[in-house]
Amino acid sequence: MVIKVLIVDDSSVMRRLIRQALLKDTRLEVVGEANDPIEARSAIKVHNPDVLILDIEMPRMSGLEFLELLMRLRPMPVVMFSSLARSSRDATIKALSLGAVDCIEKPSAESGNTLEKLPDSLVAAASADIGALKRTNRVSRQVQSFHWNSKPVLIGASTGGVDALQTVFSAWPENCPPTLVTQHMPENFLRSFANRLDEQLEMNVRVAGNNEEVKQGEIVICPGGAFHLELVSAVPVRVRLVEGAPVSGHRPSVDVMMRSAKAFGPGCVAAILTGMGRDGAQGLLELRQNGAETIGQDEMSSVVYGMPRVAQDVGAVKTQLPLDEIGAAILGCCSKRSRAKTG
């Protein structure tokens, strides 16, 4: 079935570029355009699109205001289309936490021809389960007492990951275990994402640097771009950034991060969250085979049950849980009180 797309952007030039980028893709059909959210409300009623491309900065109503309204009154898959301006990047991260499925950078001299990524992003977004955001409790009960047993944590996520990671970390105290995160997201948005988490959470969240130590109470996120994130030492926890081609279709790749921890298997805890595709499944399997505790998000709470499904199917997941239970489960595996046997 052809996926119906509605473009919402106040630039006629940008709307034309988007339409041209989608024209040859037989999976997609542009059924309408809107100059601003007010026009978009009428266009949605007329065309009943499957997915929306939504600009951030528009006249009469911002894309962020419209998204909040849309998610309350008529939830549907939305891909944010954002410039690289700091204000737009920050607004895009907020939009992803409100329920937008993905974000694409507007083409520019710095970002290049990002429109090449748009068709696949829209197809993935159209398959997203927006209802998962309402079905699942997105606020986890915070663990009050935690004594770390020296195990680092590795978490991989993709589509829907901004909201999922925020939910997991909301359960954690300030002295959380050292944690590595690989999240599929354009490089220029990852720093804004790390900054947003750092402002909202008790622990220290930052973009990972090369050959740096990650201490208790710290979470590092792979910066993306040309780099993958690897664990090179578990005691102390130390990471490095590795240049390389995409792996499992992605850079940064969850598989690369998970495989880097194989040597420390029994001394690690790893989780795979919502996302499209299969990145991370093989790496998680190798970790489990080497003694690590592995956790996967369940279908009901996943915006896109792709990566967690493949991980479950190949036997990489020891414990499958709804999103609001994953944060506490990870801490349980990292607590001195935990003596659970690996499966």
Q: Which of 92, 127, 162 is the last residue of a domain?
A: 127
What CATH number corresponds to the domain at position 213? 3.40.50.180
Are residues 277 and 178 located together in one domain of the fold?
yes
Are residues 65 and 25 located together in one domain of the fold?
yes
Angstrom CA distances, 99 to 143, 165, 193, 231, stand at 26, 13, 15, 31
Domain extent at residue 253: 153-333
pLDDT tens-place string over residues 172-213:
999 999 999 999 998 889 999 999 999 999 999 999 999 999
- Cα gap 228→278, rounded to integer Å: 16
- Cα gap 255→311, rounded to integer Å: 11
Position 90 in a domain: yes
Are residues 164 and 301 located together in one domain of the fold?
yes
pLDDT tens-place string over residues 41-66:
999 999 999 999 999 989 889 999 99
Are residues 67 and 157 located together in one domain of the fold?
no
The arithmetic mean of pLDDT across residues 59-77, rounded, is 93
The residue annotated as part of the active site, out of 90, 279, 298, 324, is: 279
Average pLDDT value for the chain? 92
Position 343 in a domain: no
Total count of domains within the chain? 2
Residue 114 has pLDDT above 90, yes or no: no
Are residues 163 and 122 located together in one domain of the fold?
no
Q: Which of 92, 110, 127 is the last residue of a domain?
A: 127
The residue annotated as part of the active site, out of 83, 158, 248, 301, is: 158
Q: Which of 109, 127, 145 is the last residue of a domain?
A: 127
What CATH number corresponds to the domain at position 120? 3.40.50.2300
Position 143 in a domain: no
Residue 118 in contact with residue 21, Cβ under 8 Å?
Answer: yes
Does the annotation mark 147 as catalytic?
no
Q: Picking from 134-148, 225-239, 300-314, 325-339, which range would have the lowest pLDDT averaged per residue?
A: 134-148
Are residues 115 and 172 located together in one domain of the fold?
no
Are residues 22 and 109 located together in one domain of the fold?
yes
pLDDT computed for residue 257 by the predictor? 99
Are residues 227 and 264 located together in one domain of the fold?
yes
Angstrom CA distances, 156 to 127, 153, 272, 323, stand at 20, 10, 5, 13
Does the annotation mark 302 as catalytic?
no
Are residues 159 and 123 located together in one domain of the fold?
no
Q: How many Cα atoms sit within 13 Å of 93 on the Cβ side?
A: 26
Are residues 74 and 171 located together in one domain of the fold?
no
Position 132 in a domain: no
pLDDT computed for residue 107 by the predictor? 84
pLDDT class of 133 with cuts at 50, 70, 90: confident
Position 170 in a domain: yes
The residue annotated as part of the active site, out of 55, 102, 140, 184, is: 184
Does the annotation mark 298 as catalytic?
no
Are residues 162 and 93 located together in one domain of the fold?
no
Q: What is the largest CA-CA distance in the chain?
A: 61
Residue 155 in contact with residue 270, Cβ under 8 Å?
Answer: yes
pLDDT class of 340 with cuts at 50, 70, 90: very low
Buried b (16+ CB within 10 A) or exposed e, 61-98: ebbbebbeebbeeeebbbbbbbbeeeebbbbbbbbbbb
Position 145 in a domain: no
